[in-house]
Amino acid sequence: MKVGMLTSGGDCQSLNATMRGVAKTLYNEVKNVEIIGFRDGYKGLIYGQYQKMESSDFSGILTEGGTILGTSRQPFKEMRIPDENGLDKVKAMKDTYKKLKLDCLVILGGNGTHKTANLLSQEGLNVVTLPKTIDNDIWGTDITFGFQSACDMAAGVIDSIHTTASSHGRVFIVEVMGHKTGWLTLHAGIASGADVILLPEIPYDIDSICDALKNRAKQGKRFSILAVAEGAISKEDAKLSKKEYKEKVKNRPYPSVAYEIGKEIEEKTGQEVRVTVPGHMQRGGSPCPYDRVLSSRLGACAAQQIIKKEYGCMIGVRDNEIVPVPLEEVAGKLKLVEPGAAIIKEAKLMGISFGD
C-alpha cells in the first residue's frame, strides 16, 4: 500500500501527533506500507516535491508543534488558475498522484484545504482528510485538533494579564485569533474569566461595552478584561456589504479591531486601556494532552478508513464518536458559534457581556 500525506494551510500544534497516529496504525496493521510525504502542502503535490518517509520519521513527534512536512497556503480559488508558467495545478496534482501510484492521499487541513481535497476527490483521487485548525470552524466535526492547545495558550495570556490589569487598574483588551469565527475567543475568554467577550457572530455596540465597564467600575472593580476576536465587528459595520466592510477595514487607522475598540473605550469612559495581541503564539508550542489524545484517535481512525478503502471523507468527531463525514458535506461550509447557544446563555447568566 502506498499512501501520500500532506499538511496544508496555517499550522497548529497537533499536526505531527495526527500524522503519527495515521502512520503508526498503518505500519502496525498493514504488511507492506510506504508513506510519501509531500513538502509544504499542495505545493509539494503540484510540483512533485516529496520524500519517502521512514517509520522513524514519525517517532518522537507526538509532543512537537508545527509540521515535519512543512505547510503553505494555496488558495482554493486559485487552483483552477494556471501558475506563472502556465501549469495546470489540478492536472499536475493528479499526475503526481498517478506517477507515484498512490493508493490514497491523507490531507490534514482547514477550510480552504477541504475545498481542494473535495475537488481532488471529485477528480477521482482517493482522499481521506483530518480536521486541523485552531479556529475550530470546520463544518461536520464538533472539534478540530489544535483548538484546545490554542485555547490553553490564549487563556494563559489572559490569565497573566489579570495581575498587571489589577495592579494598574486598567482595562485590557486581548485580541484572540479565530479568523471569521469566535470559538477560540469564547472558550479562552470563559476559561480565563474575561469580563467582556466579543465574537464575529454577535456584533457589538460600543455603548453597551462601555456600560458594562462602567458598571464594573461602579461595583468597585479595579480592572476589566475584554477577550476580543480578531474578526469582531460592530453592529453598524455588520450592516455593510462584504465589499464595503473590506474597504473600511483597509482604510482603518488602527492595526486591528482591538485597537479601534480600545480607542473608543478610552474616549467614552476615560479609563486607561492597553491592548495585547498574542497572534501566532496561539498556534505555537506543544499540543496539549487533550489534542494529543484527539489526534491519536483521529489518526488511527483515518488509517482504518484507508485500510477499508473507504475514501472521500473527513474523520471528525460527532457526539463524542470519531466518525467519517463525506467530504462534499464538509467543503465550503463554515461552522459558526450560534448566538443562542447554551454556552452563550450560561456566560451571560454569569454576567459576562457580549457587547450586544
Contacting residues toward ligand F6P, per CB under 6 A: 10, 73, 110, 133-135, 177-179, 230, 283
- The least CB distance from residue 94 to ligand F6P, in Å, is 27
Catalytically annotated residue among 135, 152, 195, 291: 135
Exposure string for 61-86, b = 16+ CB within 10 A, e = fewer: bbebbbbebbbbbbebeebeeeeeee
- The least CB distance from residue 172 to ligand F6P, in Å, is 20
Angle between helices 147-168 and 289-307 (to 10 degrees): 160
Closer residue to ligand F6P, CB minimum distance, 126 or 282:
282
- The least CB distance from residue 316 to ligand F6P, in Å, is 17
Angle between helices 342-349 and 183-191 (to 10 degrees): 40
- The least CB distance from residue 64 to ligand F6P, in Å, is 18
Which uninterrupted H or E stretch holds 109? strand 104-109
Closer residue to ligand F6P, CB minimum distance, 283 or 292:
283
Residue nearest ligand F6P, CB atom distance: 177
Closer residue to ligand F6P, CB minimum distance, 15 or 102:
15
Cβ within 8 Å of residue 215, ≥6 positions away:
none
* Distance in angstroms (rounded) separating the CA atoms of residues 18 and 292: 8
**Residue 111 main-chain phi, psi, to 5 deg:** -65, -50
Closer residue to ligand F6P, CB minimum distance, 24 or 283:
283
Closer residue to ligand F6P, CB minimum distance, 5 or 154:
154
Cβ within 8 Å of residue 250, ≥6 positions away:
none
Contact call for residues 143 and 226 (beta carbons, < 8 A) = no
- The least CB distance from residue 199 to ligand F6P, in Å, is 13
205 as an active site residue: the answer is no
Distance from the Cα of residue 13 to its chain's centroid: 10
Residues catalogued as catalytic: 135
